[in-house]
Amino acid sequence: MKARVHVMLKNGVLDPQGEAVRHALGAMGFDGVQGVRQGKVIELDLAEGASEADVKQMCEKLLANTVIESYTVEMT
């Protein structure tokens, strides 16, 4: 059983890493880039019987800093 978690900064939270990537892309000649947001994708191999609620608990406790980050969970 697999789960895929996306962790992104909440809207309104400054993303210095994304800004740095945007500037670098511009400097390399990619001028159509208006904004960049960078986050984490975490793929989990889970034992049978693991539930979405378990994965959400993992996000709340460890995988995401819920003060500034939001997360989505896809069970696959």
- What are the residues binding a second copy (CB under 8 A)? 6, 8, 18, 21, 24-25, 28, 30-47, 49-50, 54, 57-58, 61-63
Is residue 34 within 8 Å of residue 26, measured between CB atoms? no
Report how far residue 11's alpha carbon sits from residue 35's, in angstroms, rounded to the nearest whole number: 13
Question: What is the torsion angle, in degrees rounded to the nearest 10, for the CA atoms of residue 39, residue 41, residue 42 and residue 43?
Answer: 180
Which of helix, strand or coil describes residue 67? coil
